[in-house]
Structure 1
Amino acid sequence: MTFKRFTGNDAALLLIDHQVGTMGWVNSLPFEEIKRNALMLAKSAQILRMPVVLTSSMEEYAQGPLLSELEEILPAEFAARIKRLGIVNAMDDENFAAAVNATGRKRVIIAGVTNDVCTVYPALSLVSMGYEVQVVADAGGSPSKLADDMALRRMEKAGVTLTSTNQVIAELVGSWSTPEGGEIVQQVIMPALQAGN
C-alpha cells in the first residue's frame, strides 16, 4: 500500500467535544496535555487554512462549554459549532454530518473527548462511508487507560489510522521551510516545546 500523506489541501479537522466538563472525566491522559494538543491542532489547521468542524454535546449540563481558546483561534468555526443534544455518534446528527460533507474533503483528522464514546463512533461511521480517517490519540482520552486502549484498538481494527499530535502536524506541513511550516514552528511547535511537550 503506497503512502500518500494528508495535507492541508486535502484534509479536514474534526474536533469533537473538547468541553471543560467532559475533559475532566478523562484519566488516561492529563487534562492540560489533551488541551494543549487540541489547541495545537486547531492553530495548525488555522495556519494551513484547513476546514475545521467543531461540535459539542449538551454544553448547558455537566459537559460544560467548549474550550474558550478554540473561539480565539477559530472564531467563525466556533460560532458555527454543531451543538448536539446528547447524540452519541456525531455522524448521526444531521447538522454535523452535513458540515463534514460540506468540507468537500474525504480525508479527515479527528480528535475527540472521550475517545471511548465521542471519538470511536464517528470514526467508525466515516470509515464505513469511505473516508480516510486519522484519529489523534493524544488530543483526546478516556476515563481509564483500559477504556482508551479498547477504543483505539477497535478503531484501528476498522481501518482508522492512529496518530499523535506532533506526528500529524508534521505530516500536514510536509516541509518546515514553507511559509506555513515556519509559522507553525514559531506559533505552535516552539511554544509547546517550551511548555514541556
Structure 2
Amino acid sequence: MNPPRSHELLSRRSSRLLVVDVQEKLAAAMSSDTQQDLFESCRFLCQGAQILQVPVTLTEQYPQGLGPTVASLIEFTETRHAKKRFSALECTGWPTAAEAIDDRFQIVVAGMETHVCVQQTVLDLLAAGYQTYVAVDALAARNQLDHEIAIQRMANSGAILTTAESVIFEWCETADAAEFKQISALIKSRAT
C-alpha cells in the first residue's frame, strides 16, 4: 500500500492549466529576453500537460486590439476564450471548485501580465475555492517591481508558488509512469 501523498502536491487527475493572455501585441511590450523565456516556459507547460492529459485553457484579453495568442501555443487547445475583464475566471465558464463535477480543483496559472490579468485571475480562483498554483517562471510583466509585488501578493493571498518543471514532475508523479520517457525527453530538450 502506498503512503498518502500531500494535499499540496499537484495531481494530473485534479488539475487544469490556465495560460492567461500570452498574445502577440501584448508580448511586444516585453523585453525580447522576457518574451522568449515566457514563450518557452508556457510552451513547456502546455507540452507537459498534453503528454499527461491535463486540460489546457488559453485566454485572450481583447484580441481585436492585442492580437491572438502567440503561434507557439495555439496548437494546445481548440478554443481560446476572449475576454475584456482582466480576471480570466469568468470567461472560462468554470463553476466554483465545490461545484466542479470533474474533480479538477487544482489550477496551474501562467501568463501575463503578472500584476494585472494573472493576479486578478489568481485572486478570483482562490475566492472560488480552487487550489491555485502559480508557475513563477512562466509569468511576465513590463515592469520588474510590478512583477515581484504581484507574486508576493498572490502568495500572501494563498496561491502556491512553484515552477514549470516542478509542476510537470508532480503531474507525472513517478518514474514508473507510462509517460515518463516522454517527460524526461521534454525536460532534456528544455535544458539545451
TM-score (structure 1 length as normaliser)? 0.85
Where do 5+ consecutive residues of structure 2 fail to align? Answer: none
1:75-94 Cα distance to aligned partner (Å, 9 max, x none): xx2x321111x211112x3x
Residues 58-105 of structure 1, C-alpha deviations (whole Å, 9 max, x = no match) = 2221x2210212223x2xx2x321111x211112x3x41338857641
User: Residue deviations 1:34-72, cap 9 Å, x none?
Assistant: 1000000001000111112111112221x2210212223
Please tell me the residue identity of whatever aligns with 1:115. T
Which of 71, 74, 78 lines up with 1:71 in the alignment? 74
Runs of 4+ in 1 over 6 A off after TM superposition: none
Match of 1:3 among 3, 6, 13: 6
Aligned to 2:48: 44
- Deviation string, structure 1 residues 121-165 (Cα, Å, up to 9, x no partner): 110111112110001111111111100011001100000011111
Residue of structure 2 equivalent to 1:192:
190
What letter corresponds to residue 40 of structure 1 in structure 2?
F
Distance of 1:29 and 1:131 partners within structure 2 = 32
- Aligned AA (1:55): T
**Post-superposition offset of 1:176:** 3.2
Match of 1:96 in 2: 92
How far, CA to CA, are the matches of 1:56 and 1:113 in structure 2? Answer: 10
- Tell me the residue number matched to 1:18: 22
**Amino acid corresponding to residue 41 of structure 1 in structure 2:** L
**Are the equivalent residues in 2 in contact too, given 1:12–1:108 (CA < 8 A)?**
yes
Higher helix fraction (1 or 2): 1
1:171 aligns with 2:163: no
Contact 1:107–1:131 (8 Å) recurs in 2: yes
Fraction of identical pairs, as percent = 24
Q: TM-score, normalised by structure 2?
A: 0.87
RMSD: 2.1
Give yes or no for contact 2:123–2:157 (8 Å, CA) kept in 1: yes
Higher mean C-alpha displacement, 162-171 vs 98-107: 98-107
Instruction: Give the corresponding residue for 1:111.
Output: 110
Q: Which runs of 5+ in 1 are unaligned?
A: none
Give the equivalent residue in structure 1 for 2:63: 59
Q: How many residues align?
A: 184
Relative to structure 1, the CA distance from residue 14 to residue 40 in structure 2 (aligned partners, 3 Å threshold; closer, same or farther) is same
More strand, by proportion: 2
Change (3 A) 1:7 1:28: farther
Q: Describe the SS at the equivalent of 2:126.
A: helix
The Cα of 1:27 is off from its aligned counterpart by 4.7
